[in-house]
Amino acid sequence: MHTTKLVILGRDGILNKYREDHVKAPSEWVPIPGALEAVARLNHAGWHTVVATNQAGIGRGLIDMASVNAVHAHMNHLLVAAGGRLDAVFLCPHTPEERCDCRKPLPGMMRDIGLRYGVDLRHVPMVADTLRDLQAAEAAGCEPHLVLSGRAAGLTPEQVQEMQDKVPGTVVHESLGAFAEHLLRRDNLGVSMLGSLA
């Protein structure tokens, strides 16, 4: 049975440098070194990549949808230049006070992605840089992966271990590039094992 190979990525702190004041314009969307190339490597190996991002700045009136779309057009332009692409961007525009079911750590966005692509989320790696996003992965049944970029860059080994204790099964990577390498190595191992069984 053919299964879509799908990865869910957070945006801020994973693809681009995190800003406390929100990314409000294309010029403020600054890629993390190596992140776009990592997406391209995954794409070239047959992986579809989608973004799931909380964007409470919309609900707070700090940014409108036209500006968000301009930011994402810029992001996609840079990705294409690096040889990669995103299939889609799923976002939650709500503030925490609105108590929606799509804002991470709740699993609504990931479940929508699973329905859109017809995939079993248990086989979908989700890349996070915060405990909240790891908890969202766990709630949705995705494979939780933590990258030590963005908000996770300054964590001590003890803090990383604490996050792993709170979300069992979390795999830790130095960067999105290291995550891509892990996934591609696992892919190749699976192919090798199938070959040896043939």
Tens-place pLDDT, residues 38-61: 999 999 999 999 999 999 999 999
The structure's pTM equals 0.92
Pairwise CA distance, residues 190 & 147, whole Å: 23
Residue pair 185/156 in contact (Cβ under 8 Å)? The answer is: no
94-121: average pLDDT? 95
Pairwise CA distance, residues 35 & 148, whole Å: 12
- The per-residue b/e assignment along 22-58, b for 16 or more CB within 10 angstroms, e otherwise, is bbbeeeebebbeebbbbbbbbbeeebbbbbbbbbbbb
**Six-digit token pair at 2?**
């053919």
112-116: average pLDDT? 96
**Six-digit token pair at 80?**
């294409």
Mean pLDDT for all residues in the chain: 93
Assess if CATH 3.40.50.800 describes domain 8-197. no
* pLDDT, tens only, 125-161: 999 999 999 999 999 999 999 999 989 999 999 999 9
